[in-house]
Amino acid sequence: MVKTIQTEKAPAAIGAYSQAVEKEGTLFISGQIPLHPETKELVEGIENQTKQVLQNIQAILHASGLETSDVVKNTIYVTSLKNYDIINEIYSSYFNESQPARAMVGVNELPKGALIEIESIAMR
């Protein structure tokens, strides 16, 4: 059985998908862009965008009873790999202890003009 995860502490999906789904103890978090959950607006700047995306992921994890230490894989999409060091520094403050597997992919464009998007997989 697939369980859908939804929380108001992260922005609602902007398309035909769920914030996250869980099956057999594995949580798949859809790509999160840096929308503030209350204002529904994109935050500005790569630092603020990276923090907002990670806060959105944390909110979804908490809604499903998990923590960042339960994340086993992240995929990061960025519009400029020149921001690698900035993103990595902020990312490390959220995943320093657990250090999940990760990929960072440079892309041409992201939804709503975001500079970063992260999708995650976590396990119980």
Please give the backbone phi and psi of residue 79, each rounded to the nearest 5 degrees, phi first. Answer: -85, -10
Catalogue the E-assigned strands of 43-115.
Answer: 71-78, 101-106
State the Cα–Cα distance between residues 56 and 98, nearest whole angstrom: 18
Q: Give me the pLDDT at residue 14, please.
A: 82
Q: Give me the pLDDT at residue 4, please.
A: 96
State the Cα–Cα distance between residues 61 and 80, nearest whole angstrom: 27
What is the domain extent for residue 22? 2-123
Query: Is the separation of the CB atoms in 87 and 116 below 8 Å?
Result: yes
Q: What is the mean pLDDT of each run of 10 residues along the chain (124 residues)?
A: 95 90 98 96 98 98 97 98 97 93 98 97 97
Question: Domain of 89: which CATH number?
Answer: 3.30.1330.40
Q: How many domains does the chain have?
A: 1
> What sign does the CA torsion over 21, 81, 103, 46 have?
negative
Please give the backbone phi and psi of residue 96, each rounded to the nearest 5 degrees, phi first. Answer: -60, -45
Q: Give me the pLDDT at residue 42, please.
A: 97
Q: pTM of the entire structure?
A: 0.96
Query: Is the separation of the CB atoms in 65 and 80 below 8 Å?
Result: no
